[in-house]
Structure 1
């Protein structure tokens, strides 16, 4: 009877989780469509009118020196389960177009249903470049290929302790970032002298940093 109750709770948790992700996906899709429609209507209804007046309004902006802009650390947005990165679904954006606001905002396209471990490895090579290496022992244990996608040019190849990065993880993406920082501290990437200081900050958006009630249902004390 107790086992049946636990099974029912786990099934209910799966249903609720799937429903939440489905609603979030519909929200992203509808937001993207609404944005495209509004831009199209704006172009049609509010075209600039040239009345032959050569007068213009001068707008002054306080410009930031180029060297200071380039010194700002990038922000990497990591999606969760069933998520997607920049370019996978055309113009759709998982993070509501955040990557379009600034070139220093990066949105990697990691595995949607792969393990947190695999996605942490993919995230490292997405930034540094090279072929994803999941590790010989891990690959043998999990029964998949040791090597994955090849990133000919990393999206932030200068990444190191002197050039750390801000990470923002949504849902399971937060766990990916935490595991990545642990891997960096453990120097788990062959050929790289990494450390936990490669990470400047970690921000969680609905991420489970300290576990969920599910862990207790599964027997964790």
Structure 2
């Protein structure tokens, strides 16, 4: 695979429960990104490591200071409202969006503006949120006590408390959320009314569709950068060979047990020999298995699809048919672009920049005050529900979706037609693991993205018109 080195740095922001260069299990777990392939394709990239469950605002601040240098400052007003510590250590697509908003508004007071970011790329990003949050029991910015989400949150909170007290446990998995160390007791962590579970300054609340749409209505300077969303699918392939090998191993094990128990030592020994050989072959296949194509997230996919059909009108214009399809974590319609609700549209002449909102943004920065590219796991397009007629709510999403350009931004023949401020969609038949180490086709995906960056994004002057 040929190298495609970009002029400006590419920044990669992981998603919820993701990680950067430092891997779980004493650094022995698989990398999050296809690091070896990225090094060969384009060594001009940065992998940042931010809070596993922190809000977009907090993650964006952490990413900025990792790239720019200095100690993380979340902002005094934001910290008081959120209820966590103001300072801490140096969530994907939406975090990139939030970072872009903070950079455009010069939130960090370093003279930043939109020119610091050349492009935003979202891979399976919940640009308009995800209904998986409702499945877990989060509604209208509150956690339903004793719901599935509450129990999951309490369990994770206990782990967070344990690895805060015994740092050695961070080698197993580190949440990287020191700003919440002010939540000191186990009772407060487990209680649905505790400071952490009551706070909306967490990733899960940032991807509630209605809240995400409110934030999307406030995005600024989106017409000044190139926008790409990699949209996944509900497509799966069955790993028949691996299933057959597992079946053979079980047959050999049962045969060996029967052989030894009935005195047929030769049969037992023969079966153990073949089961060992089959296990070795199975191990080789599992190591190269494409987890982004097999039904690894299919149970969650079916649960989300079924739950969407039972949801109430979670926002004005919500269409269950459109929102049902998902990749096992995020609704496909949400990935297309950051849709915005007409209800939440700000005043036309407003210059409002709610940069301390716990929403999301896809962008990046470096110590250079020059343009750069940004890739994130989970961002999408910019057609917006506000432009669709309010009289036909059922067709609202479909009408707006029809305005998305049917133009694959990674096809060289389309490069000259790409312009800033429009979300372009590249589709892949993968689940939510697309673009990660667990996707065997991720190197090819990144090569296509790097190619459009080098051949068009970096060579097109600001203000120029598409051909």
TM range, normalised to the smaller chain? 0.5 to 0.7
**1:74 Cα deviation from its structure 2 partner:** 1.2
Q: Equivalents in 2 of 1:76, 1:186: separation in Å?
A: 20
Partner of 2:92: 173
In structure 1, C-alpha distance between the alignment counterparts of 2:23 and 2:71, rounded to whole Å:
19
Deviation at 1:212, TM superposition (A): 4.2
Q: Does the CA contact (< 8 Å) of 1:99 and 1:106 recur in 2?
A: no
* Contact 1:88 1:109 survives alignment (8 Å): no
| TM-score where L is the length of structure 1 | 0.53
- How far apart, CA to CA, are the structure 1 residues paired with 2:74 and 2:67? 15
Aligned pairs for 1:31-46 within 5 A: none
> Conserved in 1, the CA contact under 8 Å of 2:92 and 2:125?
yes
Distance apart, 1:103 and its partner CA: 3.3
Point out which structure has higher relative CO (alpha carbons under 8 A, 6+ apart): 2
Looking at structure 2, the residues matched to 205 and 142 of structure 1 have their Cα atoms a distance apart, in angstroms, of 28
Is 2:68 aligned against 1:114?
Answer: no
CA deviation map 1:128-175 (0-9, x unaligned): 00000000011111111111115xxxxxxxxxxxxxxxxxxxxx4000
Paired residue for 1:183? 102
SS at structure 1 position matched to 2:209: helix
Counterpart-to-counterpart distance in 1, 2:54 and 2:128: 21
Match for residue 20 of structure 2 among 85, 100, 114: 85
Q: How many residues matched?
A: 133
* 1:72 corresponds to 2:7: yes
1:92-144 deviation line (CA, Å, top 9, x unaligned): 31012245434322111111111111000111101000000000011111111
- Report the secondary structure of 2:315's partner residue: coil
Instruction: Structure 1 unaligned segments of length 5 or more: list them.
Output: 1-68, 151-171
> Is the CA contact (8 Å cut-off) linking 1:80 and 1:173 kept in structure 2?
yes
Superposed CA RMSD in Å reads 2.7
2:48 paired with 1:96: no
- For 1:193 and 1:87, the matched residues in 2 are separated by 31
Shift in CA distance, 99/149, structure 1 to aligned 2, threshold 3 Å: farther
Equivalent residue, structure 2, for 1:138: 78
**Normalising to structure 2: TM-score of the pair?**
0.26
Instruction: String of CA shifts for 1:168-215, please: whole Å, max 9, x gaps.
Output: xxxx4000011111111111113x011122111111110022344562
Do residues 193 (structure 1) and 288 (structure 2) align? no
Is 1:203 paired with 2:141? no
CA distance in 2, matches of 1:73, 1:220: 39
Deviation at 1:218, TM superposition (A): 7.0
